[in-house]
Chains A and B, each alone.
Chain A
Amino acid sequence: MLSGLRRRGVLGINRRNARYTLAVNDRARFPLVDDKLETKRLCIEAEIPVPRLLAEARLHVEARGLPGALRNVESFVLKPARGAMGNGILVIRGDGKGGFIRGDRPLPVEDLVYHASGIISGLYSLAGHQDIALVEECLQTHLLLVPLSAGGVPDVRVIVYRGIPVMAMTRLPTERSGGRANLHQGAIGAGIDLASGRTLFAVNKTRPIVRHPDSDQSLIDVPIPEFERVLEIAVRATDCTGLGYIGADMVVDAVRGPVILELNARPGLAIQLANRAGLRPRLDAVDRALGAPDSDWQRALSVAERVAMGQAFSSRSSA
């Protein structure tokens, strides 16, 4: 088994931490991606599309003002600025009469305030510190992906190493995941061929799967809309952070196209299962092409050149 994993170049947690997240990610820059508000500011400066910020609450008194500010909004997402693994995120719709609905149940106003207060207290933040409750616009699932997502918005994750996209997958919500796009909660992960932008393979937890359990649609060879632009945005957003190993999470919005949801300095490794491929051959190919790590790697090549490099590496290593 050990030799099988080595042959495929599967990246393990120890190696990811020691060689990638700890080695090429400057700790001083972690706050840029750990804080979604900070990431949003960076992206807006670089003219990278992000979900619109509808409201924010830094204090408990501000949390009490949220229901009033949001009473006429059709739908929105309440999330912690420093959350991890999708924890603490609520997707909420207005009921048209000033009340709120979560899923298919009414959400009492005091529950909304309580949840925002929990976020501010640091309940969902990485280190339990004081946090900010963010309210963002609710993104719309792209028509092409609607049949593949049950009760939630699918996202696309791209791993970008030293400015070059090396692996991608889409995370499709299921009824079991409660509409959330988190693999450990039961969402489906489907690996994407970087060159063609089509899904290659899909897993639910660790189990291979070919059809969506809720809609029975095929999960294989599905085109991801505007995938070239997805890769381009991922690379540009990573450039803003100056971090060397990033998981960029994006949503292809029905109207606005790809937008950056968040960036992750410690992206998970399940993407390898979804792609049926290890990360190491691609990471090694990047290191060979760029030589010794230095600070100016992203300036030497254009975004388009780097996307093309990533596509070439991925087809070579999985061929």
Chain B
Amino acid sequence: MSRSVFVTGLLFLAAGLGLFAAKVGVYEVPLVPTDTPGPWQVELRIHVRGDGKRGSVRALLPAGSQQQLVFDERSSSDRLNFSIREHGGNRVGVWTGWLEDIHEVVYQFRIQTGALEVEIPEQAEPSPPTRAIRKRYTQPTSELPSTAADVKVVLEELDLPAPEDLLARVRKVFAFVVHEIDEVNGAGSDALLTLARREGSVEGKERLLITLLRGAGVPARVVRGLELRDGAVPEPRIWAEVNLYGAWVPLSAVQDFFARRPAGFVEMGRGEQPLVEATGVRAVGHRYLALREPLRPDEIASLLAPDNPILARLSLYRLPVDTQAALRVLLLLPLGALTVALFRNVIGIPTYGTFMPVLIALSLREFSLPLGLVLVGVVTLLAVLARIGLERLRLLMVPRLSILLCVVVLFVTSLALLAEGSVLPDFFAGVVFPIVILTMLVERIYITAAEEGLQEALARGLWSVSVAAVVHPLLRNPNASYLMFSFPELVVAIIGLLVWIGGYTGYRLADLVRFRALATPPVGGSPD
């Protein structure tokens, strides 16, 4: 290694590690993610299209409670006025103004939430407040027609226990809705229709549950919220709450929970107000995104707003959720590239394409390695067979490669069809499957097999697989992901290491194997 290479590498390494050490030492950014399930970062993005009139957009915002800690709320209003109002016991974000063309409003928050178990209090004499609650939440409304004739008929058929035993009544009604009402996508959300047809949408089923409970004299209300899931977009949810002897108890006939709320459920509001609505607009659309953070809220706070203003500006935790998700993957790539450089230039093993193993490993990030490799292996094998058949037609290269690409797309599509409803639920969802890379891989395997023999083609394939196998756990490792995302300066340090590897002119491990005959003096030969 030359002096200039050594010094250049050292400079990069020192710069990267120096900033890293300062953040760890001085600003006490944690080095590894915290064990406890961290808070979620949730983002609501609303697009409204107006035609020059005044209008407004309203969205339910989460309220802090004992069950959920809400912090770091931010919004961008895109030329509209933003205010937070109290409406029907809910926190509502309101954006108002003249709506011209398309406005994009964003509302972000972080929320710490966990599974919730509710202890049902002992049966007690109704106190004045519970009497008020009882009055308010047993009344019929247009959405919850608890005094309708059909409701009464069903309640009579159910032969409910005595009115004092609220819990037993709730259980009976709950069991009826869970077992007797089918859940059908796209069916109506009207409580009475759901009851008459014995089937309804998710919303219809929960509404029916609440209607029946109110009819049975149990205070019940609608709760709206989100279910946050790892690696998927948040799902809007609706569930019910009943008031038992003064305590609100969550339950859901669709999600099938009772007196508890699973982890990941976030309460956004109560009552009939939808998550997002707008008036005076031509069209409105919205989507939620969520990302789990492996840190405690106080640690996030130190990453979000470190004392040092420069560090504060450099914090990636301020970026929009989808950008963050993309960067978390992107920042792992340098680690993969470093591994490839080690394998190629220090060990000296041949692979198909320089970064192909890394890109394959990256695309298999969502799967376990054996499963992922089997999937890629099956597609590749089938496509190589197709390539052998294609050879007979004597087609020119570019159309031939394009056909191969189509074949690979078809195989991947059929795999997705086969996988539907089996053990591979989210098979290709959100995965940019490296179709083009697979196509080039197939062509390379074919050419290598034809020109250098099947043995060489297989050997190179095995080496490629082993590189992918080494990189894959790295790309899946939450600690590695956390480290690279929280300390992007480590990429600079990796550049330093790569400069050193690039300047390494010593033997590769493969050289030692290849020239081993020259390492020992020839038998009976002359001394060197």
Flag whether A10 is at the interface (Cβ < 8 A). Answer: yes
* Bound Cα distance from A269 to B517, whole angstroms: 14
Q: How far is the CB of B2 from chain A (nearest CB, A)?
A: 9
Q: Kindly state the separation between the CA atoms of A87 and B453 in the bound complex, as whole angstroms.
A: 12
* A122-B519 CB under 8 A given contacts A13-B511, A14-B506, A185-B452: no
Given known A121-B396, A122-B397, A123-B397, contact A18–B503 (CB-CB < 8 A): yes
- Of B345, B394, B508, B520, the most chain A CB neighbours within 10 A belong to B394
With the chains together, A60 CA to B504 CA distance in Å?
44
Q: Are A12 and B518 in contact (CB under 8 A)?
A: no
Of the 9-residue stretches A1-9, A147-155, A231-239, A296-304, which lies at the interface with chain B?
A: A1-9
CA distance A8 to B394 in the complex (A): 49
- Which residue in B397, B506, B516, B518 is a CB contact (below 8 Å) of A121? B397
- Interface residues on chain B, size class: 20 to 34
Contact bitstring B8-29, A, C-beta under 8 A = 1, else 0: 0000000000000000000000
On chain B, the residues within 8 Å of A199 by CB distance are none
Q: A60-B396, A121-B397 are in contact. Are A12 and B508 (CB under 8 A)?
A: yes
Contact in complex: A206, B452 (CB < 8 Å): no
B378 at interface, CB cutoff 8 A: no
Task: Tell me the complex Cα distance, A203–B51, Å.
Answer: 82
- The answer on a CB contact under 8 Å between B512 and A2 is yes
A29 surroundings in chain B (CB, below 8 A): none
Contact A5 B503 (CB under 8 A): no
Residue from A8, A13, A121 in contact with B508 in the complex, judged by beta carbons closer than 8 Å? A13
A91 CB to closest chain B CB, in angstroms? 15
* Residue B86 interfacial (CB < 8 Å): no
B505 / chain A contacts, CB cutoff of 8 Å: 12, 14-15, 18-19
B179 proximal to A (CB < 8 A): no
CB atoms of A206 and B514 under 8 A apart = yes
Classify chain A: how many residues form its interface, as a range. 35 or more
- Collect the chain A residues with CB atoms within 8 Å of residue B397's CB: 118, 121-123
B518 touches A4 (CB 8 A): yes
Q: Which residues of B contact A15 (CB under 8 A)?
A: 505-507
Q: Would B396 and A12 count as touching, CB distance under 8 A?
A: no
Give complex CA distance A4, B517 in Å: 10
Chain A CB within 8 A of B398 CB = yes
Q: Assess whether B518 is in contact with A8, with CB atoms less than 8 Å apart.
A: yes
Contacts of A5 in B (CB 8 A): 507, 511-512, 515, 518-519
What's the dominant secondary structure at chain A's contact region?
helix
Chain B, residues 435-460, CB within 8 Å of chain A (1/0): the string is 00000000000010001100000000
CB atoms of B504 and A117 under 8 A apart: no
Q: Which of A1-43 contact B (CB under 8 A)?
A: 1-2, 4-5, 7-8, 10, 12-15, 18-19
A273 to B451, CA, bound (A): 23
Distance of A278 Cα from B510 Cα, bound (Å): 16
Measured CA separation A121–B397 after assembly (Å): 6
CB of B348 within 8 A of chain A? yes
Tell me the minimal C-beta distance from A203 to chain B in angstroms.
8
State the CA gap A123–B398 with chains docked (Å): 10
Judge if A241 is at the interface, Cβ distance under 8 Å: no
Flag if A110 contacts B511 (CB, 8 Å).
Answer: no
B522 contacts chain A at the CB level, 8 A cutoff = yes
Q: Contact at B507–A2, with CB atoms within 8 Å?
A: yes
Contact partners of A12 in chain B: CB under 8 A: 505-508, 511
A272 on the B face (CB < 8 A): yes
A184 interface contact, C-beta 8 A: yes
Q: Does B528 reach chain A (CB closer than 8 Å)?
A: yes
Measured in the bound complex, the distance between the Cα atoms of B347 and A14 in whole Å is: 11
Q: CA–CA, A117 to B526, complex, Å?
A: 52
- Residues of chain B within 8 A (CB-CB) of A206 are 514, 516-517
Inter-subunit contact B512/A13 (CB<8 Å): no
Q: Does A276 interact with chain B (Cβ within 8 Å)?
A: yes
Q: Mark A257-275, 1 if CB is under 8 A from B, else 0.
A: 0000000000001101100
A8 and B528 form a contact (CB under 8 A): yes
Contact B519 A14 (CB under 8 A): no
26 contacts between A and B (CB under 8 A): A1-B512, A1-B516, A1-B519, A2-B519, A4-B518, A4-B519, A5-B507, A5-B515, A5-B519, A8-B528, A12-B506, A13-B348, A13-B508, A14-B504, A15-B505, A60-B396, A114-B394, A117-B396, A121-B397, A122-B397, A208-B517, A269-B515, A272-B515, A272-B518, A276-B518, A277-B518
Per CB-CB distance, the 8 closest pairs between chain A and chain B, nearest first, are A4-B519, A121-B397, A15-B505, A114-B394, A12-B507, A12-B511, A1-B519, A18-B505
